[in-house]
A and B are shown apart, each in its own frame.
Chain A
């Protein structure tokens, strides 16, 4: 009787949902964005709401990670590779009705690279020497040296085009050029956006979309189950995903992210300045156990700092295969038995759970670890800026970021002149084949130097109502592009 009632209620509920939600969607997100200005903060949650929905750049990431035209319909590169000329689309206007033209592009780029700029990815604009509006629909950007990555740089959320008149209020009421306009933000609960009827491209299928913020895995699960949330693109608790897989109402979208999850080591201080110790640690780690234990099976083992879905990826997992005996031998060889290391863990589950597993694995080869859990702010201060750590676990989610190994002052303090030269060459190389070869060399170099222990590529495990299509599978950048999302019934 009770069961019958429950089922009937569930059916009624679902029917009601389907009818009422034809062109609206509720998207679940674990973290609330602190503000909605993608040019003024690093929080991934900002891009997850506004990228490609409210704000657009000259170029953009496609669902497969490719660089596609956005506000610039096309661009040309000069022979020496230092001058980019972008042609803007005609008839693009901001949500407040004002036209978007070359002056806005000049303003946006100059603002981002200005001396007092607070752009979180200021490095993206570092090579720019001049930005000019040739005519209202043409912009010329001059670089100090050739940069094959420049269109890629311009696709980032931090490089979106904004209007001078409205940028000050972007933190709370963002005004962009995208297919959705900002409607409301109930702090602590949700952000709602609505269809931009004057969009320059094809108008989206959805009339409104609501991003609801649910930090707690349980609550997220319950909200999905109750139908309060239609899609949770990055589901916070992998251990619950199997429940959704068993339920025909839902589809589980498993994709890849740009997040290389690594056990970072402080290369500059003893005993981790000894490559043998680092190698030993790499061999002591059983990646599959970490993926199973911490991520409930979601994740791809990696052997270097490169995304496996990238065509230039080299599988180097065998270089640092799980071999505790070898690890012990290496430690003995390095004269580093009875090590005790500090393991600093930032808040994400992969780090906290992974840290416990790694601690247990290191103990097996005779390395004791002292775990300290840190909040992000503390982690940034102590580990990232202060470099006061031995080991830490973190996922580097920026796309194509192997170049961080060329920065000797970067927190893991890898200092290899050859590698730095290689990355410098790579930056100015625009021939795809040459770039591929150099990428491979870079991957191998850091793998053979055992700079860090490479664990796994962070999976993007999303859960969605089975009747929704058009969602991104992978996460080439942190975004929830809703342009092509629609209900199938």
Chain B
């Protein structure tokens, strides 16, 4: 296990290093001067030049890359150009919106998808199966931002059950925070739940066709017992993969939803960072997201091992 972890660690570090190079290179070639953006249309040339100097934009590329990389290793992500606060502070603030939102959406999607997929697989070919499959097809086809618009229209404007968006902060009370994340979480969860339910169903159907299910039935297990005691855990492997992928997606991919509900999350921070040419914020955030994805992938691998004993000892 240690060797497995070590090998993974080396390749993980290498991936991160390559990722950091790519990110830095891409972001540095984005046209647009942060200093001029900050000072606007009437700024004099020497004011812009002075600001460039102040922001360290006149240093060589290599120097700035190394600076950035070195900073990150010591946990110092630098100072945001526009906000003038440490990037880590900005990120932490936003993370307290994005992370709960991602987890909320993931929980919703999992809680909806697993029972639904289970029912569809167990009653394969029944009316329930067909309606579930039809509904999930629809769920996958609906763009989540459009669904979000509809949710706002129904629940915020017409019914007024929820506010149309915004996030009061956790200080305002836990339930208030949860409430304001509910519509966005549903908007995010719908397509994810549809995908997950389908994966769950097909994985389960596949496992139910395995020989050991027949063995279990020959032992006297009922169809339901065989499904719950034998098929479910084996079917969890593909489901786990999707859950892992979805988490990463939800963390970073909520940009549009965050915009619809004007939530101060990571996605919006990236978007703002790009429009404001706050390069250091963008670089650090993208890097962080890539790191999160790689970490989640690693955790999913570990979770596999927990589910499947065949994977426990090395390779």
B283 to chain A, nearest CB (A): 15
Alpha-carbon distance between A228 and B180 when the two chains are bound, in angstroms: 12
20 additional A-B pairs beyond A42-B41, A226-B164, A380-B32, beta carbons within 8 Å, are A34-B38, A35-B82, A41-B38, A43-B38, A43-B40, A121-B43, A171-B84, A171-B85, A172-B84, A186-B264, A187-B93, A189-B167, A223-B164, A225-B164, A226-B157, A226-B160, A228-B166, A375-B274, A377-B275, A380-B41
Interface string of A392-431 (1 = CB under 8 A from B): 0000101000000000000000000000000000000000
Alpha-carbon distance between A382 and B36 when the two chains are bound, in angstroms: 12
- Assess whether A310 is interfacial by the CB under 8 Å rule: no
Whether the Cβ atoms of B164 and A228 lie closer than 8 Å is yes
Alpha-carbon distance between A452 and B43 when the two chains are bound, in angstroms: 22
Nearest residue (CB) in B for A114 is B50
- Assess whether B191 is interfacial by the CB under 8 Å rule: no
Alpha-carbon distance between A385 and B33 when the two chains are bound, in angstroms: 10
Provide the residues of chain A in CB contact with B265, threshold 8 Å. 188
Alpha-carbon distance between A218 and B32 when the two chains are bound, in angstroms: 29
- Assess whether B42 is interfacial by the CB under 8 Å rule: yes
Interface string of B83-94 (1 = CB under 8 A from A): 111000010011
Whether the Cβ atoms of B262 and A214 lie closer than 8 Å is yes
The 8 Å CB contact of A223, one of B93, B94, B166, is B166
- Assess whether A441 is interfacial by the CB under 8 Å rule: no
- Assess whether B304 is interfacial by the CB under 8 Å rule: no
B252 to chain A, nearest CB (A): 16
Q: Which of A304-324 contact B (CB under 8 A)?
A: none
Whether the Cβ atoms of A42 and B260 lie closer than 8 Å is no
Alpha-carbon distance between A123 and B163 when the two chains are bound, in angstroms: 45
Whether the Cβ atoms of B50 and A123 lie closer than 8 Å is no
- Assess whether B74 is interfacial by the CB under 8 Å rule: no
Whether the Cβ atoms of A381 and B165 lie closer than 8 Å is no
Provide the residues of chain A in CB contact with B164, threshold 8 Å. 218-219, 222-223, 225-226, 228
Nearest residue (CB) in A for B159 is A6
Whether the Cβ atoms of A42 and B39 lie closer than 8 Å is yes
Q: Which of A157-184 contact B (CB under 8 A)?
A: 171-172
Pairs A–B under 8 Å by Cβ, sample size 13: A9-B160, A34-B38, A35-B83, A118-B39, A120-B43, A172-B83, A187-B85, A188-B93, A219-B262, A222-B163, A225-B157, A384-B36, A385-B33
Provide the residues of chain B in CB contact with A382, threshold 8 Å. 31
- Assess whether A61 is interfacial by the CB under 8 Å rule: no
Whether the Cβ atoms of B37 and A212 lie closer than 8 Å is no
B40 to chain A, nearest CB (A): 2
Number of B residues with CB within 8 Å of any CB on chain A: 55
Q: Which of A189-215 contact B (CB under 8 A)?
A: 189, 212-215
Interface string of A363-377 (1 = CB under 8 A from B): 000000000000111
Contact (A42, B160) CB under 8 Å given A213-B262, A216-B262: no
Whether the Cβ atoms of B32 and A6 lie closer than 8 Å is no
Contact (A188, B264) CB under 8 Å given A34-B38, A34-B82: yes
- Assess whether A115 is interfacial by the CB under 8 Å rule: yes
Q: Which of B215-259 contact A (CB under 8 A)?
A: 259
Alpha-carbon distance between A200 and B43 when the two chains are bound, in angstroms: 33
- Assess whether B58 is interfacial by the CB under 8 Å rule: no
The 8 Å CB contact of B276, one of A34, A116, A215, A219, is A34
A264 to chain B, nearest CB (A): 11
Alpha-carbon distance between A172 and B263 when the two chains are bound, in angstroms: 20
Q: Which of B68-126 contact A (CB under 8 A)?
A: 82-85, 90, 93-94, 97
Nearest residue (CB) in A for B53 is A116
Provide the residues of chain B in CB contact with A119, threshold 8 Å. 47
Question: How many pairs of A and B residues are in contact by the CB < 8 Å rule?
Answer: 160
- Assess whether A378 is interfacial by the CB under 8 Å rule: yes
Provide the residues of chain B in CB contact with A218, threshold 8 Å. 149, 152, 164, 260
Provide the residues of chain A in CB contact with B42, threshold 8 Å. 42, 120-121, 123, 398
- Assess whether A329 is interfacial by the CB under 8 Å rule: no
Provide the residues of chain B in CB contact with A18, threshold 8 Å. none
Whether the Cβ atoms of A222 and B165 lie closer than 8 Å is yes
- Assess whether A13 is interfacial by the CB under 8 Å rule: yes
Interface string of B256-287 (1 = CB under 8 A from A): 00011111110011001011111000000000
Alpha-carbon distance between A13 and B262 when the two chains are bound, in angstroms: 22
- Assess whether A10 is interfacial by the CB under 8 Å rule: yes
Provide the residues of chain A in CB contact with B84, threshold 8 Å. 35, 37, 171-172
Whether the Cβ atoms of B163 and A228 lie closer than 8 Å is yes
Whether the Cβ atoms of B165 and A214 lie closer than 8 Å is yes
Whether the Cβ atoms of A384 and B41 lie closer than 8 Å is yes
- Assess whether A387 is interfacial by the CB under 8 Å rule: no
- Assess whether A117 is interfacial by the CB under 8 Å rule: yes
Nearest residue (CB) in A for B32 is A377
Provide the residues of chain B in CB contact with A117, threshold 8 Å. 47, 50
Whether the Cβ atoms of A214 and B50 lie closer than 8 Å is no
- Assess whether B51 is interfacial by the CB under 8 Å rule: yes
Contact (A216, B40) CB under 8 Å given A9-B160, A226-B163: no
Alpha-carbon distance between A157 and B54 when the two chains are bound, in angstroms: 22
Q: Which of A333-382 contact B (CB under 8 A)?
A: 347, 375-378, 380-382
- Assess whether A89 is interfacial by the CB under 8 Å rule: no
Interface string of A8-29 (1 = CB under 8 A from B): 0110010000000000000000
Alpha-carbon distance between A225 and B274 when the two chains are bound, in angstroms: 31
Nearest residue (CB) in A for B265 is A188
- Assess whether A435 is interfacial by the CB under 8 Å rule: no
A258 to chain B, nearest CB (A): 13
A91 to chain B, nearest CB (A): 32
Alpha-carbon distance between A222 and B163 when the two chains are bound, in angstroms: 8
Q: Which of A32-48 contact B (CB under 8 A)?
A: 32, 34-35, 37, 40-43
Alpha-carbon distance between A189 and B46 when the two chains are bound, in angstroms: 33
- Assess whether B11 is interfacial by the CB under 8 Å rule: no
- Assess whether B169 is interfacial by the CB under 8 Å rule: yes
Choose among A35, A123, A347, A382 the residue with the greatest number of B CB atoms under 10 Å from its CB. Answer: A35
Provide the residues of chain B in CB contact with A347, threshold 8 Å. 275
Contact (A216, B33) CB under 8 Å given A34-B83, A120-B47: no
- Assess whether B44 is interfacial by the CB under 8 Å rule: yes
- Assess whether B156 is interfacial by the CB under 8 Å rule: yes
Whether the Cβ atoms of B33 and A223 lie closer than 8 Å is no
Provide the residues of chain B in CB contact with A385, threshold 8 Å. 33, 36
- 3 smallest CB-CB distances across A and B, nearest first, come from A42-B40, A188-B264, A222-B164
Nearest residue (CB) in B for A229 is B166
Whether the Cβ atoms of B169 and A189 lie closer than 8 Å is yes
A11 to chain B, nearest CB (A): 12
Whether the Cβ atoms of A377 and B262 lie closer than 8 Å is no
Provide the residues of chain A in CB contact with B156, threshold 8 Å. 222, 226
Provide the residues of chain B in CB contact with A216, threshold 8 Å. 165, 259-260, 262
